[in-house]
Amino acid sequence: MIVPMKQITLLISASAPDKALKRLRKLGVVHIEPVQPPESEDLDALRERMGRYERVLRILESLSAESRSADPDADKVVDLVLDLHTQETELTRRIADLRQTASWFDLFGPVSRESIDLLGETGVAARFYALDKKTFAALSPDLDIFTAREQHGTVYFVHLSRDGSSLDLKPVPMPEREYRDLMREIADAEKEHKRVGKEIAAAAGMRQSVEDRRSDLAKEIEFQEALNGMGDGEGFFFLQGYCPEESTDSIRAAADKQGWAYVLDDPEHPEEVPTLIRKPGWLGMIDPLFAFMGTVPGYAEHDISFWFLLFFSLFFAMLIGDAGYGIVFLGLTIWGTAKFKHAPRGVFALMATLSGATIIWGVITGNWFGYAPIGRLPFFNSLVIDRIDSFAGDNSTFLMYLCFVIGVVHLSIAHGLKAFRAVRSPRALSEIGWIGILWSLFFVAGNLVIGKPLPPFMMPLLLASIGLTLVFSNFQKNILKGIGATLGDLPLSIISSFSDVVSYLRLFAVGYASVTVAASFNDMAVGGGVPSVTAGVAAALVLFLGHGLNIVLGLMAVVVHGVRLNMLEFSGQLDMQWAGKPYKPFTE
């Protein structure tokens, strides 16, 4: 449920705005919206400091702490890590430059710079070149040329000349450093780089102190943003925000006690109101998925958590479609729950639910790792529903029809939610009309795709439903004007809804493909028997890789199709934009 909110304006004495904010923060129910951009030198300094902390935590996040230091000074840790990181970056760059220089010697050999200079003093000029093999072979044999290396079709060579002449080619300049000095510099730089890396790794033991101080800084920044974002009146400051309707009594009590003036009113612009969703504890398992997608319903939209969880579980089960895979998922979930004790429990609760749904669907369709004989075992076979048996050759038509049924029910629920919200408005009748249109389109889809006969009441249902939609979608005193306003978009909306209904066929298509892929790998691995140990090992490898690939493809399909049917088709029928922002109360 999306919690009703009130818009609040507080007028605070100019003598102690910080004291008032501390009291408001202790109250912890107001989501503050700045009246003006919150800017100040103190705030800039805090933000810059926070940036340093964030940088340090990013540096340390991949490192495991060998030991934990006891309450170090977080600022000193940040300074130390940033200094070490700068050294490490400079050393990395220096090593790369030195190795780039040393790459010359990989091509021409450990030639001494000193020896080349001595040759020059005796009148012999040495120049180094690189040519492709064919061009090199065409050089005059009278030239004093010595090959250093041939690599990937390129010849690296030196040309010696007593008269100072050079080849009409671009030379490859020799480094000014001696080879031995260069190697020593690289070794020293790598040794120093390793030392700095160890010091950074040691600092990982102080990460908790940095995280704790980062949290404190976030609170300080939030406080300063609230302070500097207040409006400035004559002798008073004022702030604006939103609070849950159920918290208004505590706001009034605090305002009366502190001497604040206040205005509490219904929000004027719902699109600006933060969204607070309250749901039963068990339903919170869907929150990690919403967080992953970064979606929040707008304040004036619908909380579809229950419907999303219900149908996403069904879609997940149908797209994966295998009881064996469901058992694998459940096993990994149980292992993860025990292994990662501090991870959010909602993730594991969601995975357990999805695994359970997949197991149930796999059991009733007789699909165990895409191997039909398992589902034919007496006990398992008694649980299979023949009409949706994964390995029956004549049930594809029914499965497609079932997908249409799921789709029209899903989309009808969307319009039912809209009708319930508008129950005191004539618009509720237009939503009922849309439900009738959807079911008419369902009959049409069944006829066009699987050849199911149209029921005799389909056309009267469609015409009556279109009539309800035309009259009541934009209901007004001038009925003809309202009908005209609706008529322009109605044909395209009906076509779009037909596309939405048909879109649910993806559940059948992907599920069928998953069974086919699994069965194909099974046949590839053991179809010809396992006559030897070597063949057994090869079969096991094929099964592992094949089913692993099928699981990955299935999970990708869940993201692409399972989420889509909820976020586009269902949400589209609900007119949801997912343009909300989360309610973040100003609190301690």
pTM of the model: 0.80
What is the rounded CA–CA span in Å between residue 361 and residue 395? 16
Lowest mean pLDDT among 247-251, 260-264, 342-346: 342-346
Residue ranges per domain, the chain? Answer: 5-65+208-272, 112-173, 281-573
Give the pLDDT confidence score for residue 16 in this predicted structure.
Answer: 83
pLDDT one-digit tens code per residue, 496-529? 999 999 999 999 999 999 999 999 999 988 877 7
**pLDDT of 98 strictly over 90:** yes
- Work out the pLDDT band at 61, boundaries 50, 70, 90: confident
pLDDT one-digit tens code per residue, 325-336? 999 999 999 999
Lowest mean pLDDT among 339-348, 402-411, 525-534: 525-534
DSSP 568: I
Give the pLDDT confidence score for residue 66 in this predicted structure.
Answer: 56
Provide mean pLDDT across the span 566-584. Answer: 92
Give the pLDDT confidence score for residue 128 in this predicted structure.
Answer: 94
**pLDDT of 69 strictly over 80:** no
Residue in the structure block whose two tokens are 């559940």 = 507
The CATH label, of 3.20.20.70, 2.40.50.660, 3.30.70.2170, 3.30.465.10, for the domain at 5-65+208-272 is 3.30.70.2170
Regarding beta strands 154-161 and 145-151, do their DSSP bridges make them parallel or antiparallel, or are they unpaired?
antiparallel
Give the pLDDT confidence score for residue 286 in this predicted structure.
Answer: 93
Q: How far apart, in Å, do the first and last CA atoms of the chain sit?
A: 25
pLDDT one-digit tens code per residue, 484-500? 777 878 899 999 999 99
Please say whether the beta carbons of 4 and 245 come within 8 A: yes
**pLDDT of 65 strictly over 70:** no
Instruction: Count other Cβ atoms within 10 Å, centred on residue 190.
Output: 15
- Work out the pLDDT band at 377, boundaries 50, 70, 90: very high
What is the rounded CA–CA span in Å between residue 55 and residue 48? 11
Give the pLDDT confidence score for residue 12 in this predicted structure.
Answer: 87
**pLDDT of 472 strictly over 80:** yes
DSSP 382-404: HH--GGG-TT-TT-HHHHHHHHH
What is the rounded CA–CA span in Å between residue 39 and residue 225? 7
Provide the CB-side half-sphere exposure for 42 (13 A, CA): 11
Give the pLDDT confidence score for residue 71 in this predicted structure.
Answer: 63
